[in-house]
């Protein structure tokens, strides 16, 4: 099933590249598609995973990596916090199953973010549990980086959420 998804995803990206001249348009389309998937996928995730409510951004990032990625993609990225305020995290994938059948991006598609769908999925799912976040690729093996790294920046400070509940 995962292999079928990966092959289908590759065909989807190839079709989008034919439809859009600019990589930025393909990237935006993949993000929108991922967002739509994420806002629907969160219900399945919550029902199947039985995770409890996360109490911190750190715990949320760990659940995304250790439960969600494992459940849907069969991989477990490592998590690192990249800010003193505790609202920025990186998911580092040693293996990205979406690129199993991709050797490299064509030179004319250098700014294509092939797996941008993942960013949209994460952003959409987080939004449905009332966590606004920016999600983007920071490093990509398809672009010659040593690892694939997805950055997640939660947009509200934890104390903002607490203060809003107390009002």
Rg of the Cα trace of the chain? 16
H/E stretch holding 91:
strand 88-93
pTM, two decimal places: 0.90
Single out the residue of 154, 1, 13 nearest to residue 85, CA to CA. Answer: 154
Q: Is 67 helix (H, G, I), strand (E, B) or coil?
A: helix
Is residue 27 a contact partner of residue 113, using CB atoms and an 8 Å limit? yes
pLDDT score for 167: 47
Query: pLDDT digit of tens for each residue in the chain (167 aa)?
Result: 677 888 899 999 999 999 999 999 999 999 999 999 999 999 999 999 989 999 999 999 999 999 999 999 989 999 999 788 889 999 999 988 899 888 888 888 989 999 999 999 999 999 999 999 999 999 999 998 989 999 999 997 555 545 555 54
């Amino acid at each position: 099933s995962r292999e079928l998804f990966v092959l289908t995803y590759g065909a989807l990206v190839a079709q989008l590249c034919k439809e859009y001249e600019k990589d930025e348009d393909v990237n935006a389309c993949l993000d929108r598609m991922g967002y739509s998937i994420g806002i629907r996928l969160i219900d399945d995730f919550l029902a199947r995973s039985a995770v409890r409510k996360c109490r911190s951004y750190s715990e949320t990032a760990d659940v995304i990596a250790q439960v969600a990625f494992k459940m849907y993609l069969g991989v477990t990225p490592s998590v690192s916090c990249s800010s003193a305020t505790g609202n920025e995290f990186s998911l580092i994938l040693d293996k990205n199953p979406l690129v199993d059948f991709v050797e490299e991006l064509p030179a004319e598609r250098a700014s294509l973010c092939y797996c941008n769908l993942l960013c949209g999925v994460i952003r959409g799912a987080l939004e449905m549990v009332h966590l606004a976040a920016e999600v983007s690729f920071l490093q990509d093996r398809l672009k010659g980086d040593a690892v694939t790294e997805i950055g997640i920046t939660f947009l509200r400070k934890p104390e903002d959420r607490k203060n809003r509940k107390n009002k």
